[in-house]
Structure 1
Amino acid sequence: MRIVAGRHRGARLEAPPGESTRPTSDRARQALFDTLTGGRFDIDLNGAVVLDLFAGTGALGLEALSRGAARAIFVEKDRAAHAVLSRNIAHLKAGDCTLVLAQDATKLGRAREPAALVLMDPPYRQGLVGPALQALLAGGWLVPDALIVIEQAKDEALDLPTGFALLDDRRYGAARFLFLRQAAPE
């Protein structure tokens, strides 16, 4: 697994052994960031704060940093994944622009710093998307007009909680990326 583009392009990332962490493939990550930065959403990562929930190896947040994001906040509760994430950050010498929170992404508490982009890759089929989205809202983790991207299994149903609007749904192999924004108040 490598960083696909940006200033750290080609840098190898470590993944924990076993099946507890399922890193997003390089190809799917490339497609995701192409959609974000040059495709439908055309977002500018330069100077952005990115929140990587269920971070695992940190590949999504580290990819955003490589492409110009100013800061990345990683949330990961699994100890083995947390250790690998810390090594990946050190390998890229990105410690000064990252914050790693060893906690449950469904129980975030108050925001340390609101994010313009949230990248969420929860374990498949465990019903964690809804609670994590509610935690984002409750804790003030989103800047106005923040974009949220959820990776899940392509055949997994999404039970979207109140307060969010689905903007796009794209499939890449076994994965599915859902693009959301906080819904405008009625």
Structure 2
Amino acid sequence: MRIVGGAHRGLALAGVGKGDPGAHLRPTTDRVREAIFNLLQGGRFGDPVTDARVLDLFAGTGALGLEALSRGAAFATFVDDGRPAGKLIRENLSRARRQDDAALIARPAARIGPNPGEPASLVFLDPPYSRNLGAPALAAALAGGWIAPGAVIVWEEAAEPPPPPGFARLDARRYGDSWVALMAADG
């Protein structure tokens, strides 16, 4: 696994290894990550990455948020309650030397709580597949003031997720066994 574009292009990220089966770590592949960012920065949606405040829910290795930082995002908040994930995120932030541009919240995404800072204009949501965790996490982030009006949401799931209340569908693409849905927060 590596960063596929931007200032940190080619940077090798910490490997999951055998991982922790209970952690349900399933990193977004380099190919899918590249497709996501090509879609985001391809002009159809403007440029939701440059100068963005990013919220990476179910962050896992942190690859999506780190890819956004590499491509010009201003700040990324990584949310994951797994110990293996927290260790991987800290290691990857260190490798990229981006500790000052990021925060790690070790809490379940669906219980993120209130946001003490500015809301995110770009949200990555990559929950464990087929466990119905995405919509509750988005609802909690929206209720906690983590998501700005008009924010772009990138939701990766095993099947195309329908937009929950407060969000509108922009696009959806299938990449192998993954669906990537783009949504916008109302407002």
Between the aligned partners of 1:49 and 1:7, the Cα distance in structure 2 is: 17
Between the aligned partners of 2:121 and 2:163, the Cα distance in structure 1 is: 20
The 10-residue stretch of structure 1 (130-139 or 66-75) with the greater mean CA deviation from structure 2: 130-139
Between the aligned partners of 1:10 and 1:93, the Cα distance in structure 2 is: 14
Is 1:5 aligned with 2:5? Answer: yes
Amino acid at match of 1:127: N
Q: Deviations over 1:18-53 (max 9, x none)?
A: 352000010100000000011421324222111100
Between the aligned partners of 2:56 and 2:15, the Cα distance in structure 1 is: 16
Q: Which residue of 1 aligns with 2:38?
A: 34
The 10-residue stretch of structure 1 (28-37 or 175-184) with the greater mean CA deviation from structure 2: 175-184
Between the aligned partners of 1:87 and 1:119, the Cα distance in structure 2 is: 20
Q: Which residue of 2 aligns with 1:95?
A: 99
The 10-residue stretch of structure 1 (175-184 or 159-168) with the greater mean CA deviation from structure 2: 159-168
Between the aligned partners of 2:133 and 2:102, the Cα distance in structure 1 is: 24
Displacement of 1:133 in angstroms is 1.3
Displacement of 1:157 in angstroms is 5.5
- Quick one: percent identity of the two aligned structures? 49
Partner SS, residue 106 of structure 1 = helix
Contact 1:15 1:23 in 2 (8 A): no
In the alignment, structure 2 segments of 5+ residues that lack a partner are none
Between the aligned partners of 1:106 and 1:182, the Cα distance in structure 2 is: 17
Q: Which residue of 2 aligns with 1:135?
A: 140
Amino acid at match of 1:117: L
Between the aligned partners of 1:152 and 1:5, the Cα distance in structure 2 is: 23
Q: How many residues align?
A: 182
Is 1:52 aligned with 2:56? Answer: yes
Between the aligned partners of 2:9 and 2:185, the Cα distance in structure 1 is: 32
Q: Which residue of 2 aligns with 1:125?
A: 130
**In proportion to residue count, which structure has more helix?**
2
Q: Which residue of 1 aligns with 2:184?
A: 181
Partner SS, residue 45 of structure 1 = coil
Displacement of 1:79 in angstroms is 0.4
Q: Which residue of 2 aligns with 1:148?
A: 153
Contact 2:56 2:78 in 1 (8 A): yes
Between the aligned partners of 1:125 and 1:165, the Cα distance in structure 2 is: 21
Between the aligned partners of 1:90 and 1:52, the Cα distance in structure 2 is: 17
What is the RMSD of the two structures over their aligned residues, measured on CA atoms?
1.4
Contact 1:50 1:61 in 2 (8 A): yes
Q: Deviations over 1:65-113 (max 9, x none)?
A: 0000010000010101110110010111100000000000011111133
Q: Which residue of 2 aligns with 1:15?
A: 15
Is 1:86 aligned with 2:90? Answer: yes
Question: Which residue, out of 169, 177, 181, partners 1:166?
Answer: 169
Superposed, 1:57-68 pairs within 5 Å as 57-68=61-72
Amino acid at match of 1:60: L
